[in-house]
Amino acid sequence: MLNKKAIFDLSNILYQTYGNKFVFDIVTNGFLLKEKDVIVWKKIGLRRIKVTLDGNEECHNKRREMKNGSNGYKQIVTNLSKISNEIDLLINIVVDSDVYGIGDMLDTLKSNNIQAKYSISIREPDTYSPLEKSQIIIKYSKILYEKGVYQYSKIGGNHGSICAGKNKHHYVIDANNNVYYCNGNFKEILGKCIDNFKKKSYNVKDNCRECKYLPICYGDCRFGSNCQKNYFDIVIPELLKIYLHE
């Protein structure tokens, strides 16, 4: 959001080249979101905007304090109220044992006529045990259910069901044109944007092939062992009880 011209210029070039085959999403804290920008970006491929709100006004401002001391939460809610009818909006809630006021946050968004989907993400770095992590996810999933909304994504893990590291045609590029497998490992540089290289295919490990959670996990991390089976064993039955309650 600090360089809106770059967002427009790059997206416009890609849209003029590929037409409706090109789409893009924006992940932002929402503080500088403007309705006029969203309207322009929609015409050149903008599909969705994801904004993080961590609890109610007090909690969010404490966790994501603005450098100039302004009320970031209030400004973000104002911005979202102006764009929620313009674009597919995803509210992401980063949760841990300290976040609070999520119910109040949902009430505030509803009172401001903000239409959105919701996702719950565990705080990173994720150092929780499978039991601790599942208890946190279940706790806040219940709050979302009680407010009439549901966790939208990420049941498969912290980075979604299939992370960038496993996807053959998914790359991460930084401001210096370095290309990486994913945003979970910035030590493994594939090369520069101008280089001619191919991403190595991800091979599912033998023990993962036999696991019943493979369709939502798609195997272990390609850079090390990070099996989620114990977590899934706890969290999935409980989430199903919430989702299938009615």
Residues 18-68 have pLDDT tens digits of 999 999 999 999 999 999 999 999 999 999 999 999 999 999 999 999 998
* pLDDT of 178 above 80: yes
Whole-number Å distance between alpha carbons of 164 and 179: 12
Kindly state the average pLDDT of the residues 209-236.
Answer: 88
Helix (H, G, I), strand (E, B) or coil at 90: strand
Residue 146 carries which side chain, given as an amino acid letter?
E
Kindly state the average pLDDT of the residues 166-171.
Answer: 86
Instruction: For the chain, give the percent of residues with pLDDT over 70.
Output: 95
Kindly state the average pLDDT of the residues 73-82.
Answer: 97
Write down the mean pLDDT value for the chain.
90
Hey, what CATH class is 4-157+229-243 in?
alpha beta
pLDDT score at 93: 93
Kindly state the average pLDDT of the residues 148-161.
Answer: 67
Flag whether the pTM goes above 0.75.
yes
pLDDT score at 157: 62
Residue 102 carries which side chain, given as an amino acid letter?
I
Q: Are 121 and 137 in contact (CB under 8 A)?
A: no
Sheet with 178-180: list strands edge to edge: 172-173, 178-180, 189-192
Q: Are 109 and 135 in contact (CB under 8 A)?
A: no
pLDDT score at 26: 95
* pLDDT of 223 above 90: no
